[in-house]
Structure 1
Amino acid sequence: MVNAGGGSSWLAGALGACITAPHLLGPFVARRLDTARDGRTVIAVASLAHGTALAAGVLLHPHTHPAVTAALLIASGLFGPLLTGGISSRLPAIAGHGQRRQRRAQGWDVATYGIGGTVGPTLVAALSAWASPTTAALVLAAGCFVAAAVIRLLPRTPAPGVGEEVPRPVRTLITIVTSGPLRRTLYLTVTVAFSVAALPVTAVSSTHTFGVDAAAAGILTAAYGLGNLAGSAGVMIRPSRTEADRLTTRLATAVAVTLLLITLTPSFPLAVAAYAAAGIANAYFFAATLAARNEYAPDNARAQIFVWVGALKITAGSAGTAAAGALIGTSVLLPLLLVTALALTSALLSWAERRHPRRRREHHLGAALPAPAASPTGSENRQPSPPRG
């Protein structure tokens, strides 16, 4: 939209960052999700505000100073974490009782991210070509209003706490850091997000290495996206019953291995297969992190923990893309080598930490967190199941 109006690419990138950067502030507004009498209202209002600010920024951009547009987009982005982490934190209420049902719902959640990441850009591109970039952006904003109405159809659950019973954002972060399973979930999520964010950048640059047309990069990214959808379908069809803490470690290792395969692949067809494998592994990993957040988070801070991890994941993804873009000029393989090493290191650290004698004490610390409410959220399954796979 900015470029179509004669604006510079630098301005377009800066305005785009105004939407994603505020996600890091999400945890500081997420406490309301854990204290509201009806969390659906908070999410619905956030969706309305997100869409309104986005639409206002789009409509005012040609007629005002870019700073005004930037402020509106920052306001829009600030509500983003309430929509992503907020909705994911309500999966137990939607799925009902039972670990299997909840993990299948987490597979659906992963699929919605994959579909949104695929269909969204495609829809924007089609509408921009058919009508205009402004029309495409306004359609996205209108989708937020539709979502606000749909959110009200979700099951209602009582507030997990009131007043001082609900920890403040910094205290919630301390809870994550001091709980072994949640801490591992956090740093594995952040490092994997940083690592896989390099793939779209390396896909474009690697086409020259494989001797194919630059447009073939779309095949690599499509293979990753289709693999992600296939992985989420696999979670839905056959949810794992492995302990969530152990599962995230195993699947982070699997993602690291697929990154290594991408780095070592000698031909374009094998690269397509490796990108698809990375998408599958990352979908399984994402679902496992959702399970870990749900099963190890205390009830009175569940939404905040979902938002904390989600906000840091989005930030890490943006940083990973930027880092890959900055390094790709040096060597096509350099970004892949670095992110593969990072993913492997974090996975090995998680394995080592889980084998440390302190593991049992941390596991009991997680078990000693406030007990979940009864049936409405189905969180009696909060304690991890015995390992079966």
Structure 2
Amino acid sequence: MTEESTTTRPRSALLRYVLAATLARTADGGAVVAIVLLVTTSGDPGWLAGALGACITAPHLLGPFVARSLDTARDGRRVIALASVVHGATLAAAVLLHPVAHAIVPAVLLIASGLLGPLLTGGISSRLPAIAGPTRTSQLRAQGWDVATYGIGGTVGPSVVAAVSAWASPLTAALVLAAGTSIAAAFVMLLPPSPPAADARDVPRPARTLAVMLSAGPLRRTLYLTMIVAFSVAALPITAVASTGLLGTDTAAAGILTAAYGLGNLAGSIGVMVRPLEGDADRLMTRLAVVVAITLVAVVLAPYFSLATAAYAAAGIANGYFFAATLAVRNEFAPPEMRGQVFVWTGALKITAGSAGTALAGTIIGPAVQLPLALAIALTTAAALTSATERRCGINRSRGHPNGETA
């Protein structure tokens, strides 16, 4: 086999991966917007829109309990492809039945769809190490692409829903997202197969996997840093809306601030692609958490709208780099027999923490506009200091593993 063919094959596989991940995460990111729009435009009460939206987001927390199949299956591609198809089918059935069935019917279907959502996010990411290439640089560059698919999915998904809803209807928008997951399934099956890393009998149960993650230094730090940073940056959209008055702009300008954050996140992922992260990923993750906290300080202190826009963009860039570092740590330290579960556990708890951050920010922002971000800065800084301290103290140190820590 020529050198050119060995280089082209990983690139071709990575392209198929990016297409599959982008389509799947676009559907996952836009589904809740489509549901809320569909319910509200049909004349149903707002509480029902919120309840049905929660039906597709809340089950993400249960994702780790279906993720074990990724580590036990002979072909993990089939698990993800089936999850993509069922996710789309249940979403389509829910929106089609909403006008004619009792609310409990679409609710149950949306819960089923949401339960499979983590397999479209963290589950797909767990396949990346096997196709990204043999070198650490190729792995890190591929993780930059992976971060980009999350950013594109979270931005393009709601945008597609808004555009299609304006052109046709929210029902059509939801069906477009559902169709996208079927196409994603086809691309997933085109990825190179990878044999199971361990015998199914050696794959731990979800609770045991979480216990291993909490006892292993790098994975534990990845877990709590990911959750705290997700909790913290989730306050940015709420703060953007509430702070426009202080910045002397119209409330609609909050969209520019949130867009700046999203574009910054995408720019950060592109930066990782162009120049992959160097050095120890565990240490780098802690340092980047500090950088995220610094950018949040810049958001709080920005006196003008232009500076606030730049600060939001900087926060997005920092979070893009931070996310890439967390993927690198999971890739390097996740035990092979539980790799899929480690990725899904982290992703599920990240989504849960982000939802909690948004809810808390909306609750406490009344007395002081910058209070949510002040809390976010304190929590992120404390988490980074805790991470640095426990690493310096050599907690969980043992022989035979990178950084001398158990995994």
TM-score, normalising length: structure 2: 0.89
| Aligned residue in 2 for 1:136 | 173
Give the unaligned 5+ runs of structure 2.
1-37
- Does 2:288 match 1:251? yes
- Does 2:213 match 1:176? yes
Deviations 1:341-368 (A, max 9, x none): 1111111111111111436449859868
Closer, same or farther: CA 113–357 of 1 in aligned 2, 3 Å: closer
The one of 153, 170, 174 aligned to 2:190: 153
| Conserved 8 A contact 1:104-1:235 | yes
| Aligned residue in 2 for 1:201 | 238
Distance apart, 1:85 and its partner CA: 1.0
| Aligned residue in 2 for 1:272 | 309
The one of 388, 391, 404 aligned to 1:354: 391
Write the mapping of 1:196-235 to structure 2, written as runs, cut at 5 A. Answer: 196-235=233-272
| Conserved 8 A contact 2:197-2:336 | yes
- Does 2:91 match 1:49? no
| Aligned residue in 2 for 1:32 | 69
Instruction: Tell me the amino acid that sits aligned with residue 258 of structure 2.
Output: T
The one of 328, 340, 343 aligned to 2:365: 328
Instruction: Tell me the amino acid that sits aligned with residue 75 of structure 2.
Output: D
| Aligned residue in 1 for 2:60 | 23
| Conserved 8 A contact 1:18-1:77 | yes
| Conserved 8 A contact 2:397-2:405 | no
Closer, same or farther: CA 65–6 of 1 in aligned 2, 3 Å: same
Return the alpha-carbon distance in structure 2 between the equivalents of residues 238 and 163 of structure 1. 38
Aligned Cα RMSD in Å? Answer: 1.5
Return the alpha-carbon distance in structure 1 between the equivalents of residues 406 and 376 of structure 2. 34
Distance apart, 1:238 and its partner CA: 0.5
Identity of aligned residues (%): 68
Closer, same or farther: CA 153–211 of 1 in aligned 2, 3 Å: same
Closer, same or farther: CA 363–178 of 1 in aligned 2, 3 Å: farther
| Conserved 8 A contact 1:36-1:42 | yes
How many residues of Structure 1 are paired with residues of Structure 2 in the alignment?
Answer: 370
- Does 2:111 match 1:92? no
| Conserved 8 A contact 2:217-2:405 | no
| Aligned residue in 2 for 1:187 | 224
Closer, same or farther: CA 218–160 of 1 in aligned 2, 3 Å: same
Deviations 1:148-189 (A, max 9, x none): 111111110001122321111111001100100100000000
SS state of the match for residue 210, structure 1? Answer: coil
TM-score, normalising length: structure 1: 0.93
- Does 2:323 match 1:286? yes
Distance apart, 1:330 and its partner CA: 2.0
| Aligned residue in 2 for 1:339 | 376
SS state of the match for residue 62, structure 1? Answer: coil
Deviations 1:63-86 (A, max 9, x none): 111111111000000001111111
Instruction: Tell me the amino acid that sits aligned with residue 62 of structure 1.
Output: P
Which segment drifts farther, 81-90 or 351-360?
351-360
| Conserved 8 A contact 1:181-1:363 | no
Q: Which 4+ stretches in 1 moved above 2 angstroms?
A: 357-370
Give the unaligned 5+ runs of structure 1.
371-389
Return the alpha-carbon distance in structure 2 between the equivalents of residues 199 and 336 of structure 1. 8
